[in-house]
Structure 1
Amino acid sequence: MKDQTPRLLVVDDEPEIRRLVCEILEDEGYEVTTAENATEARALKSSINPHLILLDIWMPDTDGITLLKEWVAEDSLLCPVIMMSGHGSVESAVEATKLGAYDFLEKPLSMAKLLLVVSRALEASNLQKENAGLKQQLVTDIEPVGKSATVARTKDQIKRLAQHDARVLFVGEAGVGKELYARYLHNNSARRDGPFVDVSVGSIAPENAAVEFFGKEHDGRVFPGLLERANRGTLFLSEIAGMDQETQLRLLSALASSSFLRVGGSEAVRVDVRVLASTRIGLADEVKSGRFRHDLYYLLNEVTLEIQPLRSHSEDIPSLLSFYVDYFVSHDKLPFRKFSMAAQNFLRNYSWRGNVRELKNLVQRLMILGIGEEIELDEVKSALGTIISDSIPSVSLPDYYNLPLKDARDQFEKAYLEYHFELSGGSVAKLSAAVGIERTHLYRKLHSLNIKL
């Protein structure tokens, strides 16, 4: 693995096998952790996030086949698992590989074969991750677009921050790209090979927050939360002001000690996570009002980085338009269209209340609904709902008027809630009062409409 020692987990109830396999693999330069039963294996898998698992079939508490089934059901991105058994059979090998095991080794183990299979499994996993990464590159790993002094200065600051583990609070209006800049920081840091876990804090109902963040233990099974899933990587807390008071207190304790208890658990779980956060509202005002803990605010706010609104670097708009045209051609297979010079000049002077997110949505709408290779000025004005001429207002109906009732209602509710959410300054509590929807029901509604908080 590039710039990272592969972490291997060896699960076997025989001490001598564990010792021997561990010594052989460590001699080859691998980082090896061992477990003697399924219960210990579950906990270690969550805490160390291994790159490969060697799993014995016959164990005293839960057999390896059952454990493999459990892991496959829980984790769609499960690392390679190599099964081992001293009671090998064709049936066991077939069942294990059908479930998703990479290979099957019989005991007594051939150390030469063990090393060969481990090496091939890691290579195959690396290739799979690289291919997946290439497919997702446009979505997750793009650099902030623009050559303006504003964007260049922000990128330079982030590259310098990436060399340290200081917690960063990204502040800025809705749609400016706070998550994109957080990913850019992660990708330029020493944690780039670890996970980047993004969570919209406001979309988590208070009654579910403890399990979501800290995981739970039930009937000997471990269900990792956000902090564990981000172990050795970065956890990005989007719109942190939406967090309830109880979760604020527990998160404060977890970050201060780098450890926490899962819900239903009795042993502390240690994690190595860099936490980044964002807010679109003045968090200092939330602290003064008592809605946000001052100690958590100072813990998360070691460095504040303000992301400027699009209108402050409008010279980047032509580059952004071109980028998103290429993006939708490549990603959504939409027909290529280009913006006329008149359209580009008009958009450079547009106010962009929704910032880069609004620009992206505009490009997508014009490419889906428009015809012809060039996007002209009148088409842009019509899509924005502005006046087409000096005297004749646009009378075009909203797009959802042509949809079935359920789809039209969903689109209206989404636009309605997004509008009032902006007026509420990103506060779910204020939104609940403004629209007259009970808070628990509102969380479900926001989640069902895929409104990013």
Structure 2
Amino acid sequence: MDIQTPRLLVVDDEPEIRRLVSEILEDEGYEVTMAEDAGTARQLKAATNPDLILLDIWMPDTDGITLLKEWVAEDTLTCPVVMMSGHGSVESAVEATRLGAYDYLEKPLSMAKLLLIVERALEAGYLQHENAGLRQGAAIDIEPVGRSAAVARTKDQLKRLAQHDARVLFVGEAGTGKELYARFLHNNSAHRDGPFIDVAVGSISPENSAVEFFGKECGGKVYPGLLERAHKGTLFLGEIAGMDKETQLRLLSALESSSFLRVGGSEAVRVDVRVVASTRISLDEEVKSGRFRQDLYYLLNEVTIEIPPLRTHSEDVPALLGFYVDYFVNQDKLAFRRFSMAAQNFLRNYGWRGNVRELKNLVQRLMILGVGEDIELEEVKSALGTVMGDIGGTASSVPDFFNLPLKEARDHFEKAYLEYHFERTGGSVAKLSAAVGMERTHLYRKLHSLNIKL
């Protein structure tokens, strides 16, 4: 698997709670380690380097509050901590959040709340590590591919814009590569040596938006937010129309004053950040309907760059096919395959409802599931007509991932399933949510965990 399974450490002295929590989390695809006391928790934390710790307050040797203070004082806490408290210790759990815990769960545990908080805490942990480049990956040096007039014109505009600090709004259909063009702008600007931080703003819950954007101060420690982590670089706000009204107001205030206060802080923080954004839907309509603030729209939309859909520059399709074949050979170590001329000609005339993202997903499916060095026309047509090939066929024709362990196979299925419906719904998360029957907040987390770009 190219996506690492999140590692969770559950610390509780009650065997039944450890077993129940572990089973639920493992069923959701997480890797779970359990500790019955503080001593074991210390050892497992060092040995497993978890992405999240669920920590009970009352334990026989050292209580959870003391253990949390210990980790904070030692500066060895590299992941979020969620406290678990009994009825009489909620006040202590609230105190723990002041010391640096992400949140707390009250016993008896609500399984729905457990899963929601785990998802949000993991997302917060990933954001904390962005400045180290965890989300930049190999794409940072990739330029938009194509020699068509449309691609050349867009790249030329961005090279000229890169010499100025104007805020840019990238407009275009889902899957056109708006983030990639934003990276191209960053890489050609004076901010090129700084970080490029991208965030799907719709995945940030209103109650956590202040901490996520501005960071927080507690227990004498500073936890930087998105704006600080993007200092001297670029902050890319993906699909800005998904931002809730409360977060819009907070961001507007920070951008207008060029400063902000961390949550729990008293000193204004100033950063040097270029903020760029993207949208797949008309923000003019969102403003007219009252769903998006007009003042924030004008602030972010100093310059509009339209990213053309792939069907308008289909002459770039062969170059894109070759590029992504090489990409998956180098990045995922897949066996090399080449598209026949008939297949290339067919794909040049294909509608590409999901644009470049659909093309990339198609290449990946053909390289994973196909056999032989040549990709012929019939194989392409078959792949476009189904998500994962002939699952209902004979045992000899089942997809390769059927031979994987259940958790990995489920990730493969979910990724292909969601990508298929994402393309069919035109890249709309709202329509995708209705099509697959998943609540939007959970859906955003699932798309992020499967590395499906919005």
Residue type matched to 2:356 in 1? V
Instruction: Provide the aligned length of Structure 1 versus Structure 2.
Output: 323
SS in 1 for 2:371: coil
Residue type matched to 1:164 in 2? H
SS in 2 for 1:333: coil
Q: Find the aligned partners of 2:347 and 2:175 in 1 and give their Cα distance.
A: 16
Equivalence for 2:141: 141
Alignment of structure 1 residues 32-431 onto 2, 5 Å: 70=75, 73=78, 138-385=138-385, 399=399, 402=402, 414=415
- State the Cα distance separating 1:205 from its structure 2 match: 2.1
Gap change, CA 1:213 and 1:384, over 3 Å in 2? same
2:197–2:226 CA contact under 8 A, matched in 1: yes
SS in 2 for 1:278: strand
Residue type matched to 2:260 in 1? F
1:215–1:262 CA contact under 8 A, matched in 2: yes
Deviations 1:88-142 (A, max 9, x none): xxxxxxxxxxxxxxxxxxxxxxxxxxxxxxxxxxxxxxxxxxxx99xx8852211
Q: Find the aligned partners of 1:375 and 1:184 in 2 and give their Cα distance.
A: 31
Cα RMSD after superposing both structures: 3.2
Deviations 1:193-224 (A, max 9, x none): 11111111122222222111110111110000
- State the Cα distance separating 1:427 from its structure 2 match: 6.1
SS in 2 for 1:140: helix
- State the Cα distance separating 1:360 from its structure 2 match: 1.1
Gap change, CA 1:446 and 1:357, over 3 Å in 2? closer
1:204–1:443 CA contact under 8 A, matched in 2: no
Q: Find the aligned partners of 2:368 and 2:447 in 1 and give their Cα distance.
A: 25
Residue type matched to 2:306 in 1? E
Deviations 1:3-36 (A, max 9, x none): xxxxxxxxxxxxxxxxxxxxxxxxxxxxxxxxxx
- State the Cα distance separating 1:452 from its structure 2 match: 3.1
- State the Cα distance separating 1:431 from its structure 2 match: 5.7
Gap change, CA 1:294 and 1:430, over 3 Å in 2? farther
- State the Cα distance separating 1:227 from its structure 2 match: 0.2
1:241–1:292 CA contact under 8 A, matched in 2: yes
SS in 2 for 1:165: coil
Q: Find the aligned partners of 1:383 and 1:430 in 2 and give their Cα distance.
A: 23
Equivalence for 2:453: 452
Q: Find the aligned partners of 2:357 and 2:430 in 1 and give their Cα distance.
A: 24
Gap change, CA 1:406 and 1:138, over 3 Å in 2? closer
SS in 2 for 1:334: coil
2:369–2:399 CA contact under 8 A, matched in 1: no
- State the Cα distance separating 1:73 from its structure 2 match: 3.9
- State the Cα distance separating 1:349 from its structure 2 match: 0.5
Q: Find the aligned partners of 2:436 and 2:337 in 1 and give their Cα distance.
A: 39
1:239–1:277 CA contact under 8 A, matched in 2: yes
Give 5+ residue unaligned stretches, structure 2: 1-70, 80-131
Residue type matched to 1:325 in 2? V
2:353–2:423 CA contact under 8 A, matched in 1: no
Residue type matched to 2:205 in 1? A
Gap change, CA 1:281 and 1:249, over 3 Å in 2? same
- State the Cα distance separating 1:267 from its structure 2 match: 1.1
Q: Find the aligned partners of 1:395 and 1:269 in 2 and give their Cα distance.
A: 55
SS in 1 for 2:153: helix
- State the Cα distance separating 1:325 from its structure 2 match: 1.4
Deviations 1:161-182 (A, max 9, x none): 1010000000111111101100
Residue type matched to 1:144 in 2? P
- State the Cα distance separating 1:447 from its structure 2 match: 4.0
Give 5+ residue unaligned stretches, structure 1: 1-65, 75-131, 387-393
Gap change, CA 1:184 and 1:307, over 3 Å in 2? same
Gap change, CA 1:258 and 1:400, over 3 Å in 2? farther
Greater Cα shift, 190-199 or 417-426: 417-426
- State the Cα distance separating 1:385 from its structure 2 match: 1.2
Deviations 1:369-408 (A, max 9, x none): 222221111111111118xxxxxxx997695994777666
1:202–1:428 CA contact under 8 A, matched in 2: no
- State the Cα distance separating 1:439 from its structure 2 match: 4.8
SS in 2 for 1:330: helix
1:216–1:265 CA contact under 8 A, matched in 2: yes
2:354–2:424 CA contact under 8 A, matched in 1: no
- State the Cα distance separating 1:160 from its structure 2 match: 0.6
Greater Cα shift, 306-315 or 421-430: 421-430
Gap change, CA 1:345 and 1:422, over 3 Å in 2? closer
